[in-house]
């Protein structure tokens, strides 16, 4: 195969609950993640040598072995025992960087799926998910996408039965100068909420079951109204970051929102809406204060899949 194009969608968190600390030092989480149609596009081409080359239209992204795309290619090549394989990768970046939208994880997952096709490996879903989990906690979700319960570090997935996103679309905002370190956010959560952490597997499972049977999953399956969205990291980050406080206040004041929350560890914020037209109307209504405060904005649809090969010939 001469070249492969892969679409790498972003995600938002509809629920993020920090349950406690695991023996490996990571936090045990109970989450609901949702794909959205804001996506990067990756074009992968075969090469005549064994070089892994990455170029991007974003000056902010490294192109060396610190990038998840390169790490994914190196890991995949190593595991299949074919060091002679090479690839030239071009990334068209649309997902904002460091935004709590899993843009880097989705790009890494796209590299795994794209290279599996480009190199004709046919590894299968289970093996690709195992490699994704080694590289990052969000990467298995980014491979699968849709609406998923995510447990453990986030790598253990359970599809939400009969799920349809609570809003068909969202108004997404991020301040370009705002930055939140994920390790800092989790450390702050541990400092402020550590006394309430659970530490036994049976307690973790009780909270997982409460989420499975709770009002959010019921609403996602069309069996009730959408509840308040919980993000334990928002509870500790919002008081510390002024642009997050201002952005959440603005979104809450806008028309037609079903729910408002921060995604992941931030700083991206979103308001869920019944449809794209309602989200666009909210962006228009809030245009002046959003511009005055310097926010970037997107209106996105909720999506039903993760990374996917582009087969219709379309490209950015």
The two tokens of residue 16 are: 């993020």
Catalytic residue among 107, 138, 174, 232: 138
Chain centre distance of CA 183: 16
* Residue 215 assigned ligand-binding role: no
Cα–Cα distance, 11 to 144 (Å, whole number): 11
* Residue 136 assigned ligand-binding role: no
* Residue 102 assigned ligand-binding role: yes
* Residue 97 assigned ligand-binding role: yes
Is the CB of residue 5 less than 8 Å from the CB of residue 163? no
Neighbours of 191 (CB within 10 A): 10
Total length of the chain? 316
Listed in order, strand segments (DSSP E) in the chain are 3-21, 27-46, 52-56, 87-92, 147-152, 156-159, 169-174, 259-262, 269-273, 296-301, 308-309
Catalytic residue among 11, 93, 107, 116: 11
* Residue 49: active-site member: no
Nearest to 284 by CA among 263, 245, 256, 308: 256
* Residue 10 assigned ligand-binding role: no
* Residue 313 assigned ligand-binding role: no
- Give the largest CA-CA distance in the chain: 57
* Residue 161 assigned ligand-binding role: no
Cα–Cα distance, 311 to 300 (Å, whole number): 22
In 3-state terms the chain splits into helix, strand, coil percentages (rounded to 5) of 35, 25, 35
Whole-angstrom CA distances from 219 to 22, 167, 223 are 30, 10, 5
* Residue 138: active-site member: yes
Nearest to 311 by CA among 125, 117, 145, 122: 117
Cα–Cα distance, 273 to 153 (Å, whole number): 29
Neighbours of 283 (CB within 10 A): 19
* Residue 187 assigned ligand-binding role: no
* Residue 106 assigned ligand-binding role: yes
What are phi and psi for residue 3, nearest 5 degrees? -155, 160
Classify strands 269-273 and 259-262 as parallel, antiparallel or unpaired: antiparallel
Binding residues for ATP, by number, are: 96-106
Q: Which amino acids are annotated as binding site, given as ranges?
A: 96-106
* Positions marked active-site: 11, 138
């Amino acid at each position: 195969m001469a070249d492969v194009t892969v679409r790498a969608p972003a995600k938002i968190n509809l629920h993020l609950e920090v349950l406690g600390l695991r023996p490996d030092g990571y936090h045990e989480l109970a989450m609901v993640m949702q794909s959205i149609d804001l996506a990067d596009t990756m074009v992968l081409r075969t090469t005549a040598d064994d070089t892994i080359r990455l170029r991007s239209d974003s000056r902010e992204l490294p192109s060396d072995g610190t990038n998840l795309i390169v790490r994914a290619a190196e890991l995949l090549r190593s595991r299949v025992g074919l060091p002679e394989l090479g690839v030239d990768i071009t990334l068209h970046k649309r997902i904002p960087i460091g935004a709590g939208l899993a843009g880097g994880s989705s790009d890494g997952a796209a590299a795994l799926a794209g290279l599996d096709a480009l190199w004709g490996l046919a590894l299968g879903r289970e093996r690709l998910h195992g490699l994704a989990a080694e590289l990052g906690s969000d990467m298995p979700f980014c491979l699968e996408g849709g609406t998923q319960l995510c447990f453990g570090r986030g790598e253990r997935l359970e599809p939400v039965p009969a799920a349809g996103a609570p809003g068909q679309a969202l108004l997404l905002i991020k301040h370009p100068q705002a930055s939140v370190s994920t390790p800092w956010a989790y450390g702050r959560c541990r400092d402020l909420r550590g006394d309430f952490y659970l530490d036994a597997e049976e307690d973790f499972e009780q909270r997982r079951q409460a989420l499975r049977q709770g009002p959010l999953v019921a609403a996602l399956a069309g069996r009730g109204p959408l509840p308040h969205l919980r993000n334990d990291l928002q509870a500790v980050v919002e008081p510390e970051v002024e642009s997050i406080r201002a952005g959440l206040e603005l979104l809450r004041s806008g028309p037609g929102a079903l729910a408002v929350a921060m995604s992941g560890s931030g700083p991206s914020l979103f308001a869920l809406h019944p449809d794209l037209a309602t989200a666009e109307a909210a962006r228009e209504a809030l245009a002046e204060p959003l511009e005055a405060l310097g926010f970037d904005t997107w209106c996105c649809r909720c999506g039903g899949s993760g990374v996917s090969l582009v087969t219709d010939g379309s490209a950015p």
